[in-house]
Structure 1
Amino acid sequence: MTKFKDDPETTQQGIYIENGSGGFLSDLYFVGGKFGAYMGNQQFTASGLYFEEAETAIQIHWDWGWTMQNIVVDNCKTGLTIVGGAGGPMSTGQGIGSLHLTDLRFHYVNVAVSTSVMSDNSTALLLSNSGFYNVDTIVQDTFKNQVLIRGGKGTVNVDTWGFGRVTSANGTAAFHNGVNLDSPVRNDSLVTGGRKQFFTRRRPKYDDLGFSQILDAKADGAKGDGTTDDTAVLNHLLSAAANMSAIVYVPFGVYIITDTVEIPVGLRVIGQAWPQIMATSSRSADALKPRVAVRVGLPGQVGVIEVQNMMVTVKGATAGAIMMEWNVHESSQGSAGLWDTHFRVGGAAGTDLTAKDCPKLSGKVNPNCVAASLMLYLTPDSSGYFKNVWMWTADHDFDTADQIQVDIYLSGAENVVIGLIQTETPYFQSSLQAPAPFKPGVFPNDPEFHNCTKTSKSCAMAWALCIIDSSAVHSCLNSGRNDCQDKIFYTEQSYDVWVQNLVTLGSIEMASPLNGVPTLGKPNRNGFASSILAWLGGSKNITGQRNFEGYRIHSELTIGIEEFSEACQNALTALVRCDNVTSECRSAAYHGILPIEVDVDSICDKDCAEAISDWLSAVDTYCGDSKWENGAAAGVMGSFISYGINETCQTDKKTGKYCNDVILGFSNSGSLESMANSELCSDCYVGRLKMMQASPFSYYRKEPYYQNALKAAVSRCPLSNQPRSAKDSPFPSETTEDAICLSDVKYVTQSGDTCDSLALKYSVSSAAIFIGNPDILDCNNIDPGVSICLPLQCSTYKLETDDTCMSVAIATGLQPDTIRLLNPWIHELCCNIQTATETLGRVICTTTPGGKYEHDVNSTNSDPAYSEYADKSVLPPKGATIAQGTTEYCGRWYTVQKGDDCARVLVQHHISLLLFTSANPSVSQDTCSSDLIPGQTYCVGPTKDAFVDRTPIPPYWRYGCYARQQDTGNHSVLIFDEVNHVKPMSIVACQSYCLSYSWYVFGLQNGDSCLCDSRLRMDSRLVDDSKCNIHCNGNTTNLCGGSDAVQVFSDESLLRVEHTSLGCFIQNDSKHVLDGETIDEKDMSVEKCASICTINKKSDFFSLSEGSICTCGQKVATWAKKTDAGECNVKCIDQMGDTCGGKGRAEVHTTKTKNAIAT
């Protein structure tokens, strides 16, 4: 376009948008013109726009809401002109409703923002995190010809400034007529640059790749014809491309999939004109059994995934389809993302979900028209960058005239920034009230709509934005468009939530925090819509604070939960918004009077009963007939809790008092016979007995007293046809043969027994007690009178509340692997060593279970005749064929006969399964009997020498006392692992632990803490040995560092040191880049030079040149000149593959962060 300075009369415009329902503009360059862009729209997002030498860069003549981010304006007369505004108070005109400008950079502009401001409701304008260089006026009120923010020479920064109505943290609203406002602290993961602009990334172009790195989906077998099943072809292609680090190009077409398509980490996908991945299958038709159509990465994966210009759709009845499940977490900022990728449900030919197939407002649910339970599901631990992503549930066909819908639910989310969110309520509501036609509970924090009355037709309608248990959520604009509903934006138990430029249409409440003050739409009417500049209800306080913190009946660590479907697991692990005291009602008990400190009204709150009812309903819906390993229904624990609440909260019909208080006031009769009829036959007492008899989750079945009480009531009270038989246990009895008790020792439980108390008393593992005795339902509350089998004896250790595998290893002298071998329930990474104790108790084995059993329990059975271990080794029988891998340290041998099974061998030879499989590695615990080979000889009595670790502990070298530089942010000189407050601690104990994880550098601090790493970290400084003067608590002859210093050791004679390269420099024989000592050795390497200079020479810099020359120094010469890194290309002589400078070139490194920054 013609530049304004060349023709002031130019009328050219770069983009003209008069109307519409947009939309997204990004990464565009405008030069010249009267207007770079002249725009009006219902809503729009613009990012990465650059304007140069126009009269006016942007002019907006109407909108409901607009977000502009990262806009650059150079040498324009006016940066942004806002025409008209929305009008005065309560105006219903079609002007500018809401505008958010953030991360702007304006240079050499007369007026940055030209607008008008009314004294009450008007355009809501927010300007944040923006810089203006040589701008005369930043904001000018054209109505009053008044400068609101002055510019000036140089840079003027605006943090957060605006005008419009603001709802404060306490729910009150007021008009702010051009003032500075509070602003959120932007998390580092969300920003870039020194001014902390929100991170943006243009969609990747891949213009530097060869054709060999691009795979064409159709050329490789996919049809994309809308009829052929492309599932297998796409999965094979995507997997192969990820292994090759190739790009998959998907030509235009419709690719039918009938099962999950996997997009692996490391893959890049480019579509041509939005090719459709269309999910259709009977597998996806059941809303109660959700099935993923496109899965991106696997849970817990970290890496790169880039998808652009694709569309995900469904065909026909697919009520269970999760259109995309996103599991991957970015390995670097923006490395995992979607660009210009959209989701569409219905509304197009070939979907079987058009207006003809599914007419709206028909008054009934057509099961063939229920499609997609969820469009995009970001799973826990995932992260992503999503740019111009449109999620549309069709309210019309593309070929008919009507209107976009996205509802966003943030559950347990952190560090989220969302630009313009534009949503619409489904047009079939309230003909169907939410959540119909779906049932809640399959996804975390599904909405329930309990606060809606049955007569209201405008309450149970879709939330546009729902934020629950989340933090650091920044929304630049939320535009909720709908037709007359009560509420649209909901928050619960969240904080650091900043919603700016909130716009709603037709909703009575704009923001509805749980238990908080709602923000109403009518007082904030602003043009055609209602808008406020900012909603700060959760900015500095918890918004939507619950009456109860809540608890989870199960977690992902619950033993056996992985056997259930994913939907069932989500239901089982859902939060129960109830008083935490109720979580203790997980087994049959009499729920009588509670301790005085317990608030009964809190337990009996209607929301509490509603919450457990919702949990049970969701589990029943999504778990169906699924059962735990012991045969109990999936929701059994919730049923116990629900019954416990009902019994506790039973009230007297006449007085309204709690029945527990009424029964407490009864006379102290010694027996049922002497109990007065007025008490026995009272509503509370009879009601309690009837309630207990009717439920399998009560104490009635286990306690004869209550059975006799009901018998007495039937005979003495006016009760007719009252059943008295107890309900069957919710835990079905198995009709299997009695299990073998390897110890041959039985015990009858007594009142007060726990798994831990029995384990400590009889030297056994608490987990073995629980796992080996299915009649024990709760390790902390064992029913008396139950006959149990005590496991084989072992030396024990009771876990403290802060124990880790490392602290246990140091305390017991065992390797972590050995601890896990002796206690197989401990996960490989030891992550469950504390969480599992709630179920399994805290007493673990530190020796192999077995040996002579000393006890005084009520059993007539004898002890095992001898220990599992033999005293000394003997040769195997002559001619015996020894099983593969069997230990030679064995005192008793047995040759397996035909017909032998594992149980017979173990019982005959008094050896535990764990010890037997340890001595005979060819036999596994899971398939012991089938692994036994008749005719082969196995060890059934190993000596203790069989399990002695014969790996000698290597020597170690001490390298001194180290602390961090005071001006650095890191807190330790070794960072890979750390365990604190361990007893006993010694140098060898710390070395052994670190060595077990292949860490060769270790350090000690404060006498009781061990640190591990692969090298000494940057910014470590050597301090005087007097700073490391605290003796080890496990060996007082050792020194274990100081309170603020670490005693550093290594298993290698060379201490590896962290360093960073400053680049390749020019030098010659007479002039060295560094000023210190030079060492020339044939086996020189980067690691060796770093260690010599840092440890021996105490230098902050080191350089390598000529392949073998190492130079140490304290500063880089002022004349030093950097050259291309490729000129430092001479390999080090040590043949490790590193480069050691070049000919006449020196590569300089430093071990101090401040030097790297300065350079």
Structure 2
Amino acid sequence: MRFLSALLAAASLVSTVKAHWLGEIKHQGYAPYTPAGYPVFRNVKDYGARGDGVTDDTAAINAAINAGNPCNRGCTSTTMTPAVVYFPAGTYLISSSILPAYFTQLIGDAANPPTLKATSNFAGFGLIDGNPYYTEVLNWKSVNVFFRQIRNFIIDTTNIPPATAATGIHWPTAQATSLQNIVFNMPTASNVVHVGLFIEEGSGGFMTDLTFNGGATGASMGNQQFTMRNFKFNNCKTAIIQIWNWGWTYHGLSINNCQVGIDMSAGGSSNLNVGSVTLLDSSFTNVPVAILTAWTPSSNPDTAGSLVIENIALNNVPVAIKGPSGTMLAGTTGTTTISAWSNGHRYTPSGPVEASGAINANPRPAALVSNGRFYTRSKPQYENLPVSSFISARSSGAKGDGATDDTAALQNAINSAVSQGKILFLDYGLYRVTSTIKIPPGAKVVGESFPVILSSGGFFNDINNPKPVVQVGSTSGQAGQVELSDFIIGTQNAQAGAVCIEWNLATSGTPSGMWDVHVRIGGYTGSQQQVAQCLKQPGSAAVNKNCIVAYMAMHVTKGASNLYMENVWLWTADHDIDDAANTQITLYSGRGLYIESQNGPFWLWGTGSEHHVLYQYQLANTKNIFMGQIQTETPYFQPTPNALVPFSPVSSLNDPDFAASCAGVSGNCANAWGLRVINSQDVLVYGAGLYSFFNNYSTACSTFTAGQTCQQRITSIEGSASNVNIYNLNTIGTREMLNRNGAQVAWYADNANTFASNIAVYKSD
């Protein structure tokens, strides 16, 4: 009777839990390039999952994922079969791995996160296996796994015997992916070998709001680069094992009652595998060794194991940093705060100086800080709002079929939502627009599985008269606040004058925000910028005018201010995602992210900008900028043609003039800047990966053996600069890592790292 009463009580509790709006809203997402009836949204309970903690729900969950035959085993990649797989509150017992398809989001009830609980005889590599080993290699090439999310779950391996290997989530992925609001519960026995999160390769990426309880290792990770923030580790043997990386930024770690906080000693000092780690605004409590490193002044490669920490609170942490020979930085059995410390190469502003020890912490403008830490805000999920607070774009008349002109219908839907104080739900689709979509103050827009606002037509195709595709605020400096999440802005066919996002809004109080809002220029079905139209032509400097596809990815204008950006990827496609061979293509977009705000502040957490002709990031006459682990790539075709083709420099936009600045400079000088900072102050970069892998589609230039000859220069600080500081600058394929007013500051060979070259600390003054 007690068991029956408990079951009835549990059933009653589940029945009274308030349903999340995402499970209640009418789902009309339309994937135009799939067979009729393809389900964009799937509720796992509609496929037989019970969520009662008793029934084995594995088959039902995987059936929901595989409905409509999405891109799964044996498929290279796709944008044509998007899916949101939704889990209402409950406990879902699983006996083998959940296997999400490509371009699939797993989303639990945000107000009452569901539990995925393994059975005692669970079989599989990860309760959620995001990239399975069906053979000896991963199912998907990890650096090409884009546009995926998992959020709002409790991952529970406590039924699995502690000494049996178990992994919560296996997640080797790349850009425009995220994990958010997930708790990992593992056994705490002395013989436990469980791992919460495992990543062995990829090109990430962003994660936030993860908690790890118990286990041998909270997170064991290797990837090119990542931004991770707001992680909590409780009672793990080791909180983090860094397997390898080029650059990694951690913010807001809280590591408690673990034996080791961060182990970045992989490979040992004679052959270190970890390139660099940046750690800030974090705490360690009751941890014998906060950070374990293999770095020594004679490490191989020269700068591998570079570490920069800032604002780190210790409470009963006897050893802050332990190296091969013992304590490198003492901790305390009481409480203390480490202001700033580093090991590796320093340029302050000249160098290199190889050193380990205290450094001066970056002066932090008050505008960027909240309660002593850099400001952060997780993506809003509106979990406490009823479904009546949302308006659907498709219910408002927009088609999203990639062909219909949805300009008027989409604009009317946005305006209607704002006038009623509601949130626009952008059902999945490709919304073709032929003039600017204007987002007014007060707007909130939430996408379903990355719908696309797709510019098209002659309005956006005048290179001498650029027009915004999405304009936030009608005039530069207009007051107001906006929140945008989970959608894409793209272009269709030739769009030589398209500015994908123009941000004009000046926000006071709570910053405006963009979370998981991406610019994706070409390389997908519906863009008409694919293999058939824009196949790469190595060795040819001729420009196909039909492949001039954007003027600028994003422009933050002079009067704009107070914008928070998290996991925003501004990508001009280098390959066709919907081509079975991921064939490379040549597309021309002029500029990446241009910020010329006079005041700021701006926060860029986990952003990337890739394959734009003139530059990836440019900051001019601005201030109060935080950048966390930015990532760039130079266009693969350069220097054939170089950065002066096909977009001529525009002086009013402070465009770089390579003809003048490259006079007398050897090597491939006229290639796109990764980061260019002009007459700016209080620009703080906490991790940067600026990469140039190709010379005219050949990767032979990108190694140390080849002399890193893909391009000559990639980072430029120009004019007056005050408090422009970079932690862990990593460059690939570039000879001059950093220039100041045209003069070389740092040379690649002086700063050899694992695959990149690294400067641990650069300070402009």
TM category, shorter: 0.5 to 0.7
Alignment correspondent of 1:220: 396
Which structure is higher in strand share? 2
Alignment correspondent of 2:223: 41
Distance in 2 of aligned mates of 1:448 and 1:83: 44
Q: In the TM superposition, what whole-angstrom CA distance separates every residue of 1:1041-1089 from its partner, at most 9, and x where no partner exists?
A: xxxxxxxxxxxxxxxxxxxxxxxxxxxxxxxxxxxxxxxxxxxxxxxxx
User: For this pair of structures, how many residues does the alignment match?
Assistant: 527
Is 1:137 matched with 2:319?
yes
Alignment correspondent of 2:730: 503
Does the 8 Å CA contact 1:86/1:123 hold for their aligned counterparts? no
Question: TM-score normalized by structure 2?
Answer: 0.67
> Which structure 2 segments of 5+ residues have no match?
1-156, 159-184, 585-607, 611-615, 694-709
Does the 8 Å CA contact 1:412/1:468 hold for their aligned counterparts? yes
Q: What secondary structure sits across from 1:480 in the alignment?
A: strand
In structure 2, the CA distance between the partners of 1:147 and 1:94, relative to structure 1 (3 Å rule), is: closer
Alignment correspondent of 2:682: 472
Alignment correspondent of 1:408: 617
Q: What secondary structure sits across from 1:518 in the alignment?
A: strand
Offset at residue 207 of structure 1 (A): 2.2
Question: Structure 2 counterpart of 1:273, which letter?
Answer: S
Is 1:71 matched with 2:250?
no
Does the 8 Å CA contact 1:86/1:96 hold for their aligned counterparts? no
Q: Which among 147, 162, 168 is matched to residue 348 of structure 2?
A: 168
Q: In the TM superposition, what whole-angstrom CA distance separates every residue of 1:864-887 from its partner, at most 9, and x where no partner exists?
A: xxxxxxxxxxxxxxxxxxxxxxxx
Alignment of 1:505-654 (within 5 A): 505-536=732-763, 538=764, 540=765
Offset at residue 479 of structure 1 (A): 0.7
Alignment correspondent of 1:117: 295
In structure 2, the CA distance between the partners of 1:14 and 1:55, relative to structure 1 (3 Å rule), is: same
Distance in 1 of aligned mates of 2:583 and 2:291: 35
Is 1:274 matched with 2:450?
yes
Is 1:487 matched with 2:663?
no
Q: In the TM superposition, what whole-angstrom CA distance separates every residue of 1:371-398 from its partner, at most 9, and x where no partner exists?
A: 1111111001212100010111111122
Q: Which among 522, 531, 543 is matched to residue 346 of structure 1?
A: 522
Higher RCO structure (Cα 8 Å, ≥6 apart): 2
In structure 2, the CA distance between the partners of 1:30 and 1:6, relative to structure 1 (3 Å rule), is: closer
Alignment of 1:986-1025 (within 5 A): none
In structure 2, the CA distance between the partners of 1:20 and 1:86, relative to structure 1 (3 Å rule), is: farther
Alignment correspondent of 2:430: 254
Does the 8 Å CA contact 1:414/1:473 hold for their aligned counterparts? yes
Question: Structure 1 counterpart of 2:670, which letter?
Answer: A
Distance in 2 of aligned mates of 1:36 and 1:258: 48
Distance in 1 of aligned mates of 2:566 and 2:294: 32
Distance in 2 of aligned mates of 1:86 and 1:357: 49
Question: TM-score normalized by structure 1?
Answer: 0.44
Distance in 2 of aligned mates of 1:155 and 1:273: 45
Distance in 2 of aligned mates of 1:17 and 1:167: 32
Alignment correspondent of 2:654: 445
Q: Which among 489, 493, 504 is matched to residue 312 of structure 1?
A: 489
Does the 8 Å CA contact 1:303/1:331 hold for their aligned counterparts? yes
Offset at residue 123 of structure 1 (A): 1.3
64-73 or 400-409: bigger deviation = 400-409
Distance in 2 of aligned mates of 1:74 and 1:432: 53
Does the 8 Å CA contact 1:339/1:386 hold for their aligned counterparts? yes
Distance in 2 of aligned mates of 1:173 and 1:517: 12
Distance in 2 of aligned mates of 1:87 and 1:505: 22
Q: What secondary structure sits across from 1:357 in the alignment?
A: helix
Does the 8 Å CA contact 2:442/2:482 hold for their aligned counterparts? yes
Q: What secondary structure sits across from 1:464 in the alignment?
A: strand
Offset at residue 401 of structure 1 (A): 4.2
Q: What secondary structure sits across from 1:232 in the alignment?
A: helix
Offset at residue 154 of structure 1 (A): 2.9
Q: Could you list the runs of 4 or more consecutive aligned residues of structure 1 that deviate by over 6 angstroms after TM superposition?
A: none
Does the 8 Å CA contact 1:414/1:470 hold for their aligned counterparts? yes
Alignment correspondent of 1:882: none
Alignment correspondent of 2:568: 389
Is 1:187 matched with 2:365?
yes
Q: Which among 100, 104, 107 is matched to residue 278 of structure 2?
A: 100
In structure 2, the CA distance between the partners of 1:454 and 1:317, relative to structure 1 (3 Å rule), is: farther
Distance in 2 of aligned mates of 1:271 and 1:507: 38
Alignment of 1:883-898 (within 5 A): none
Q: In the TM superposition, what whole-angstrom CA distance separates every residue of 1:278-318 from its partner, at most 9, and x where no partner exists?
A: 11111111111101100001321222100000111101100
Does the 8 Å CA contact 2:684/2:725 hold for their aligned counterparts? yes
Alignment of 1:1016-1095 (within 5 A): none
Does the 8 Å CA contact 1:86/1:97 hold for their aligned counterparts? no
Q: In the TM superposition, what whole-angstrom CA distance separates every residue of 1:937-977 from its partner, at most 9, and x where no partner exists?
A: xxxxxxxxxxxxxxxxxxxxxxxxxxxxxxxxxxxxxxxxx
In structure 2, the CA distance between the partners of 1:150 and 1:5, relative to structure 1 (3 Å rule), is: farther
Q: Please provide the CA RMSD for this pair.
A: 1.8
Question: Structure 1 counterpart of 2:484, which letter?
Answer: V
Offset at residue 49 of structure 1 (A): 1.1
Alignment correspondent of 2:508: 331
Offset at residue 235 of structure 1 (A): 1.1
Offset at residue 107 of structure 1 (A): 1.4
In structure 2, the CA distance between the partners of 1:168 and 1:467, relative to structure 1 (3 Å rule), is: same
Offset at residue 412 of structure 1 (A): 1.1
Q: What secondary structure sits across from 2:653 in the alignment?
A: coil
Alignment correspondent of 1:628: none
Which structure is higher in helix share? 1
Distance in 2 of aligned mates of 1:344 and 1:94: 35
Q: What secondary structure sits across from 2:509 in the alignment?
A: coil
Alignment correspondent of 1:295: 471
Distance in 2 of aligned mates of 1:269 and 1:185: 35
Offset at residue 442 of structure 1 (A): 6.3
Distance in 1 of aligned mates of 2:328 and 2:471: 51
Does the 8 Å CA contact 1:430/1:457 hold for their aligned counterparts? no
Offset at residue 87 of structure 1 (A): 5.0
Does the 8 Å CA contact 1:107/1:135 hold for their aligned counterparts? yes
Alignment correspondent of 1:679: none
Offset at residue 27 of structure 1 (A): 1.2
Distance in 2 of aligned mates of 1:376 and 1:443: 16
Question: Structure 2 counterpart of 1:482, which letter?
Answer: S
Offset at residue 352 of structure 1 (A): 1.1
Q: What secondary structure sits across from 1:238 in the alignment?
A: helix
Kindly name which structure, 1 or 2, has the bigger radius of gyration based on alpha carbons.
1
Question: Structure 1 counterpart of 2:572, which letter?
Answer: T
Q: What secondary structure sits across from 2:463 in the alignment?
A: coil
Q: What secondary structure sits across from 1:368 in the alignment?
A: helix
Offset at residue 14 of structure 1 (A): 0.8
In structure 2, the CA distance between the partners of 1:4 and 1:114, relative to structure 1 (3 Å rule), is: farther
Distance in 2 of aligned mates of 1:229 and 1:454: 50
Q: What secondary structure sits across from 1:523 in the alignment?
A: helix
Does the 8 Å CA contact 2:346/2:761 hold for their aligned counterparts? yes
Offset at residue 402 of structure 1 (A): 7.5
Alignment correspondent of 2:644: 435
Distance in 2 of aligned mates of 1:452 and 1:175: 31
Offset at residue 516 of structure 1 (A): 3.7
Distance in 1 of aligned mates of 2:245 and 2:583: 19
Offset at residue 185 of structure 1 (A): 1.2
In structure 2, the CA distance between the partners of 1:482 and 1:429, relative to structure 1 (3 Å rule), is: same
Q: In the TM superposition, what whole-angstrom CA distance separates every residue of 1:620-668 from its partner, at most 9, and x where no partner exists?
A: xxxxxxxxxxxxxxxxxxxxxxxxxxxxxxxxxxxxxxxxxxxxxxxxx
Alignment correspondent of 1:147: 327
Q: What secondary structure sits across from 1:486 in the alignment?
A: strand
Distance in 1 of aligned mates of 2:674 and 2:390: 40
Offset at residue 476 of structure 1 (A): 0.6
Does the 8 Å CA contact 2:307/2:343 hold for their aligned counterparts? yes
Q: In the TM superposition, what whole-angstrom CA distance separates every residue of 1:78-116 from its partner, at most 9, and x where no partner exists?
A: 11101336855xxxx671111101111111112111111
Does the 8 Å CA contact 1:435/1:462 hold for their aligned counterparts? no
Offset at residue 31 of structure 1 (A): 1.2
Distance in 1 of aligned mates of 2:665 and 2:535: 26
